[in-house]
Structure 1
Amino acid sequence: MTDPIRLSKRLIELVGCSRREAELFIEGGWVTVDGEVIEEPQFKVENQKVELNSDAKADAPEPVTLLLHKPAALDADSALKLITPGTLSVEHSYGKRPLKGHFLRLEAISTLQANASGLMIFSQDWKILRKLTDDRSKIEQEYVVEVSGDMVAHGLNRLNHGMTYKGKELPKVKASWQNETRLRFAMKNPQPGVIVQLCEAVGLKVVSLRRIRVGGVSIGKVPEGQWRYMTDKEKF
């Protein structure tokens, strides 16, 4: 029997890499101990079989942005707890290697309307955080709104051109019917409660709200309660 040593030290002995390279290999999910991926350089090993994946790269993991289909009942803190390797959308999991580091230091950005479900954004990337903070007044968001009641005459036209309701000036939006009970709203930086107010102003009551898009990024076919990685090709 040998005394337990750090996994990073064992890897250095095995492949002759530097300490920093060993840490990057391990944190990148490229090292297994008895066939199990271990991502902690300080993990202690004895006589277990340690292997380095043949495709391994000693690169620091890139910061990630995760897109969650949030259930309506959850707040941001509760929604964040949904994001685990097990809730990654199966349809979007191919070719992805969720790492423990992907779930650390995530910040919620681009606040949803109250009681809304749909696209919620969590990111580690300062460029994304800055974009959605500094340019929030310029980035369009899209909601699907389930409604009840009968729209007043010329209601759609009023929504699209702006109006005053209960002494408050409401913004003009891009509104259209998706079907007999669902409206689509597209607008920039919607203020809290504004979609409910817009609907009330034309005689409708909001049954549910779901955000489907922020800028050029949509939630797509991710099931409620699951998430996917934002791709390099997507832009807000």
Structure 2
Amino acid sequence: MPEAPAAPGGTTRLNKRMAELGLCSRREADDWIARGWVKVDGAVATMGLQVAPQARIDIDPRARGQQREQVTILLHKPIGYVSGQAEDGHEPAVVLVQGRNRWKDDRSPHRFVPAQLKGLAPAGRLDIDSTGLLVLTQDGRVARQLIGEDSGVEKEYLVRVAFGAVSNDVQAAFPPQQLARLRHGLTLDGQALKPAKVDWQNPEQLRFVLTEGKKRQIRRMCELVGLKVVGLKRVRIGRITLGQLPLGQWRYLAPHERF
């Protein structure tokens, strides 16, 4: 949806301003405003209110309590599951978020209850034929941080590749100038890609670090330079690593952890 034009006098719609300040997501802001939990300069806010940059925004403690109950889940997604809604007969990864699939070494104080599945949505994609770290969250602040327009959070991937008929010691056969193009110089969907960190992890596997997430981006990047992706695994998002989390299992993002 296109951005609404700026309001006269440099004001901003209240829900957008609250999201910009990192208080909550726009959807949460609308919910809080509807409940009467938001005051602007001492007065209870109304839906659609425009606010000046210096406006004082106060949040009812009940909103903060509701926010503290929201969970963010880290899942080691297997191949064969889609990140979001079910499609083409394939199940969404969220079906794996069940009590019996919780990692036994999860030290989070959270106790799993089915209500935590309500509004739990992926913050970023991971293709059906890819595996690794997938973030599912109820918290709009986390979603904005990871997939918002201004997000610059790094995502790290290990990518096994083949080059034509070469599947062993691909590094020796792959031209260095093409590796340079992977790092910077490729275009997808008519847009130049942001610079990426791309290095050989071993002779058959590349390590990619991206700060954007176009659909099937790594696979399409590789195709442009003659590589075929044989396997793809996401191992890090920001400061959060996949670590020892077993395939098909999940854990909570701990209160002290930050992306």
Same fold (TM over 0.5): yes
- Does residue 227 of the first structure (1) align with residue 250 of the second (2)? yes
State the alpha-carbon separation in 1 of the partners of residues 201 and 146 from structure 2: 27
**Aligned-pair CA distance for 1:111:** 1.6
Instruction: Find the counterpart in structure 1 of residue 156 from structure 2.
Output: 142
By how many angstroms is 1:113 displaced? 4.1
Offset from partner CA, 1:117-146 (integer Å, 9 cap, x none): 111111112322332342554222111111
After superposition, the CA RMSD in angstroms is 2.7
**Structure with max Cα Rg:** 1
For the residues of structure 1 that align with 2:187 and 2:253, how far apart are their CA atoms? 38
1:85 has 2:99 as partner: yes
Name the SS for the 1:73 alignment partner: coil
Q: CA deviation at 1:175?
A: 0.5
Q: Which residue of 1 aligns with 2:44?
A: none
Going from structure 1 to structure 2, the CA distance change for 1:167 and 1:192 (only over 3 Å counts) comes to closer
- 2:70 aligns with 63
The whole-number CA distance in structure 2 between the counterparts of 1:141 and 1:68 is 15
Q: Amino acid of the residue matched to residue 208 of structure 2?
A: F
Can you list the C-alpha shifts for 1:83-141, whole angstroms capped at 9, x where unaligned? Answer: 10110112225755323333333122212245321111111123223323425542221
Instruction: Figure out how many residues of one structure are paired with residues of the other and give that number.
Output: 178
2: CA distance, partners of 1:67 / 1:165: 29
Query: How high is the TM-score relative to the length of structure 2?
Result: 0.60
Cα deviation for residue 220 of structure 1 reads 1.8
Q: Using the TM superposition, name which of 196-205 and 131-140 deviates more.
A: 131-140
Deviations 1:153-186 (A, max 9, x none): 3332332232469997454310011111111101
Counting only pairs closer than 5 Å after superposition, residues 35-114 of structure 1 correspond to structure 2 as 62-76=69-83, 77=85, 78-93=92-107, 96-113=110-127
Counterpart selection for 2:212 from 186, 189, 197: 189
1:218 paired with 2:241, answer: yes
TM-fit CA distance, 1:208: 1.5
Asked if 2 retains the 8 angstrom alpha-carbon contact of 1:142 and 1:186, the reply is yes
Contact 2:108 2:252 in 1 (8 A): no
| Change in CA separation of 1:231 and 1:135 when aligned onto 2, cut-off 3 Å | farther
Unmatched runs of 5 consecutive residues or more in structure 2? 1-64, 86-91, 164-172
TM-score norm. by structure 1 comes to: 0.65
Identity %: 35
**Distance of aligned partners of 1:136 and 1:91 in 2 relative to their CA distance in 1, 3 Å threshold:** farther
